[in-house]
Amino acid sequence: MDAVIVKDLVKRFGKFEALKGISFTVEEGEIFGLIGPNGAGKTTTFRIIATLLLPTAGEVKVLGKDVVREAAKVRKLISYLPEDAGAYRNISGYEYLKMVAEIYFGKSKQAEEALELGIKLASLGDQLYKKMKTYSKGMKRRVQVARALMVMPKVAILDEPTVGLDVVFANEVRKMIKDFSKEHGTTVLLSSHNMLEVEGLCDRVALIHEGRILIEGYVSELIKGFGVKNLEELFLMLVKGEGS
């Protein structure tokens, strides 16, 4: 079964058309990358899949559930990590993770297990019990990634999961996502500007530019098919070609 189906998706903000009829599918259990330059429409697409925005036209389904008509059901299947997700200043990372676990599972054994997993994924040690206003950007991002994964979503939508992180932190987060998806069979839909990251992490990618999908396919096949060295070269070739 396809985890995410996006079909002829259009999104207009007033007169501006952010998405011009894009279509792609994400298979269950795979890590799918949506790549593209700034303003291409990645975040808008993610927000629609995460039930935050309504499509102007087209259809989006998550594990067979329509994001408009069955938004509440979709929310139970997904977890979403926004690109610039903030943190509550005066509660600790632990309290935040506990709150999320209880929202998803109530006061249950499942919530305790989720919290335990969250603590493990965040790997902040004693810092996790300090107020989040004392955290660095990287620490906040770790808590957010842990929060998104610990609830064992069927589909994790991660918008720029390693944005603003240093090399070491970014590498750890990438490893965390890959291992988690492999271990739990979680479908991951992510976006990134880092082509190296996408190449190493994603099974398949779709390249979006100015609201249109330019290509979609397995990373290795795309590199081979276009005769380029890597994804970055392909990206530049397609985006510049499209722009000229």
Asked if 95 touches other proteins (CB under 8 A), the answer is: yes
Answer yes or no whether residue 85 interacts with other proteins by CB under 8 A: yes
- DSSP 3-state of 11: strand
Report yes or no: 46 and 7 within 8 Å, Cβ to Cβ. Answer: no
**The 65-66 sheet, strands edge to edge:** 16-27, 2-13, 57-62, 65-66
> How near is the Cβ of 57 to other proteins at its closest, in Å?
15
Segment near other proteins (CB under 8 A), from 91-99, 113-121, 209-217, 226-234? 91-99
User: Pairing state of beta strands 155-159 and 78-81?
Assistant: parallel
30: closest CA among 208, 213, 205? 205
Residue 112 to residue 116: CA distance in whole angstroms: 6
Of the pair 80, 135, the CB lying nearest other proteins is at: 80
- Among 208, 185, 199, smallest CA distance to 24 is for 208
Q: Find, among 171, 170, 156, the residue nearest to 81 by Cα.
A: 156
Candidate residues 6, 26, 33, 51; the one interacting with other proteins per rule CB under 8 A: 51
Q: Is 137 in the site for other proteins (CB under 8 A)?
A: no
Residue 158 sits in the site that holds other proteins (CB under 8 A): no
Position 109 contacts other proteins (CB under 8 A): no
Q: Per rule CB under 8 A, is residue 99 in the interface with other proteins? A: yes
From the CB of 89, what's the least distance to other proteins, in Å?
Answer: 7
Which residue ranges make up the site for other proteins (CB under 8 A)?
13-14, 47, 50-54, 72, 75-76, 78-82, 84-91, 95-96, 98-100, 102-104, 131, 144, 147
